Amino acid sequence: MSATRLDVRAYACPMTYVRTRIALERLRVGEALEVWLAAGEPLESVPRNAVEEGHRVLSCEPLPAEGAGSWRVVIEKGNPPPEPL
């Protein structure tokens, strides 16, 4: 199954996660999103935010062919956790 790909390396936080979130919103539960992001703050925050919002991080690995500091994170869309009332 080919995952939808999203390249957010050109953006600064919080835009990196905003775009990831929108892309995930457009998928169905169980579908995968492949995000290309930069090391540093994006790499720290995007996978963590995704997990907090009920998704699964399937893999997280460097992309040497794309130059130093590029990473690929694959996220599977999950169900949002029940929100505290």
Partner 1 sequence: MNPLLARKSALVVGTGGLGGPLLLALGASGLGRVVVCDDDAVETSNLNRQPLFGEADLGARKAPAAAQRLERLYPRLEVRAIDARFDAHNALELVSSCDVVVDGSDNFATKFLANDAALAADRPLVHGGILRYTAQLLTVMPGKTGCLRCLFEEPPPRGSVPSCAEAGVLGALAGLAGALMAGEVARLLAGERGAYAGRLLVHEARPARTRIVPVRRRPGCVACQGGRTLESSQGEACEVTVTRGPSGG
Partner 2 sequence: MALSESQIGRYARQLLLPGLGEAGQERLGAARVRVVGAGPLAGPALLYLAQAGMGRLWVDDAAMVSPEDLSAWLYGPGDVGRPRSAAAAEALRTANGLVEAEPFRAGNLPTAVLVASGAQSTDRVAAEEARLLGLPHVVAEADGEGGAVTVIPAGSPCYKCAFRTGHGAIPTPAATAAVGALAALELVLLVADVSQEPRGRRIDLVRGQPMARPTVRLPGCTCGAGANEGIP
Which residues make up the interface to partner 1 (CB under 8 A)? 13-15, 17, 44-45, 48-49, 85
Residue owning tokens 């130093």: 68
13 is catalytic: yes
17 binds partner 2 (CB under 8 A): yes
| Residue 45 binds which of partner 2, partner 1, none (CB < 5-8 A, kind-dependent) | partner 1
3-class DSSP assignment, residue 78 = coil
The CB-of-55 to partner 1 minimum distance in angstroms stands at 16
Options 3, 13, 60, 63, the catalytic residue: 13
Find out whether 77 and 55 touch, Cβ atoms under 8 Å.
yes
Find out whether 75 and 57 touch, Cβ atoms under 8 Å.
yes
